[in-house]
Chains A and B, each alone.
Chain A
């Protein structure tokens, strides 16, 4: 097949050439024996292929038609073309996804719930808050401090005073100045998830340093000057920031069984709260009361010693 017209011969016998082109090819065929033979062979092939007889029997055809029409009713009802296997597989996937979600939620919700519940206790000293309401008031707050501190798991609701009281070193010594300042503005603060011990110690050391600086600064506030309230503004702000961290670190120390650090943080917490809750223009007496408590408890020195000890341990 050397002639350039061979492909056109194929199109010619299919009637796919335009009139002018078809005439041209027809004229070529008169002069080209090769293309003429090609056309004859192509037509011969066509007749062979077209005369192929299917082995289809009429009975098979009728049966096929009947089968299709009989399947019409369910086919119209269910437009899905999926088989039962596909539906079963999809169901299995959905069920496993739901189970996985439930498992994931339960595994993740244990600690955050406890933490959140602990933070929601209205004051930094949860025992005193638990002691006051009756057991029937709300079961959750009474239960959750137990979960965090778990002194005695068998404690009955009425006995909640007893197990909580001996745990703390001196809860009764809390100054009355704390009582009207429950620190409710801190109740909904989300607490980050439990720290690793190394991180906790670093943060505690840094926290002690900051608290020491704050208390030193607070001690140096000049009360006789008329602008005392403005000079306390910085301490109030810092105290608010430190209260959150103090709560978290105290819980961490409690959980880790570090009694010394926990006790120091526990003593520090009401002082921080009192400073944070000072009014915009505090009177001199309020500031003096807090100062005296700081001095009495020797908090600044304790903070310094502990922060240095922690820093040495970390080094």
Chain B
């Protein structure tokens, strides 16, 4: 039992932060909800599938379950979470240089906003590729789609983001010159 717990703790320490990040980007920056869902995914893994999954499968299982939970959340009314997230965000401790912090915050917000313009399946595929470095086959396993669909989804997501990114940076450059 102790060794099982140790293994689970190692898995949790390795993947909980990245699962939180994946969910946060998928949900458009709703960090508390992302953390809740990540915790719930690990809890389900611990309750139902831990010990029965082959080695190396747990990670994919976690992402699959977490993504399904996130999809369920999309369908729910989420006003409550948005309000709560803003409160949490306002109360976050800010230790670094305020200007630097602001810039970084702006950039992250921009990334999140652009990601939100993508369809959910494209967004999930791109995040699993860029943040988790999963292969197309592994992404297909997580999202339960074919490799070719993953390839197309990722390409379309990148192309769409690139176009928006160029518009946004063009706008920001224009705004900078006008100052």
Contact = CB atoms under 8 A, between A and B. Distances in A.
A187 B38 CA distance: 73
Interface stretch (A52-60, A163-171, A194-202, A280-288): A52-60
A16 B39 contact: no
Contact of A49 (B5, B92, B127): B127
A41 B39 CA distance: 35
A131 interface: no
Contact of A50 (B31, B115, B130): B130
A77 to B, nearest CB: 11
A72 interface: yes
Contacts of B131: 49-50, 52
Interface string B102-139: 00100110011001000000000011011100011000
A70 to B, nearest CB: 10
A54 B24 contact: yes
Interface string B137-150: 00000000000000
A61 interface: yes
A217 interface: no
Contacts of B44: 81
B8 to A, nearest CB: 8
B162 A41 contact: yes
Contacts of B12: 64-65, 68
B16 interface: yes
A1 B159 contact: yes
A223 to B, nearest CB: 89
A261 B42 CA distance: 82
Interface of B: 5, 8-9, 12-13, 16-17, 20-21, 24-25, 31, 34-35, 38-39, 42-44, 46-48, 89, 92, 104, 107-108, 111-112, 115, 126-127, 129-131, 135-136, 151-152, 154-155, 158-159, 161-162, 165-166
A6 B92 contact: no
Contact of B165 (A45, A54, A64): A45
Q: By DSSP majority rule, is chain B's interface helix, strand, loop, or mixed?
A: helix
Interface in A15-35: 16
A77 B70 CA distance: 28
A54 B31 contact: yes
Given A38-B162, A61-B17, A6 B130 contact: no
Interface string A180-216: 0000000000000000000000000000000000000
Given A49-B130, A54-B20, A67-B43, 12 more contacts: A7-B151, A14-B135, A14-B136, A49-B126, A53-B108, A54-B24, A54-B31, A55-B24, A64-B12, A65-B13, A68-B39, A71-B43
Contacts of A55: 24, 31, 89, 92
B165 A6 contact: no
Contact of B158 (A16, A45, A56): A45
A65 B92 CA distance: 22
Given A48-B107, A49-B111, A65-B9, A72 B46 contact: yes
Contacts of B38: 64
B149 to A, nearest CB: 13
Nearest to B29: A55
B31 A6 contact: no
Closest 10 CB pairs of A and B: A54-B21, A10-B155, A75-B47, A64-B39, A49-B130, A55-B31, A56-B20, A41-B162, A54-B20, A7-B155
A16 B43 contact: no
Contact of A56 (B8, B17, B42): B17
Contacts of A87: none
Given A16-B151, A49-B127, A53-B108, A42 B158 contact: yes
22 contacts: A6-B155, A11-B155, A14-B129, A16-B135, A16-B136, A45-B158, A45-B161, A48-B107, A48-B111, A49-B25, A49-B127, A50-B130, A52-B25, A52-B131, A53-B108, A54-B24, A55-B24, A60-B35, A64-B38, A71-B43, A71-B47, A72-B5
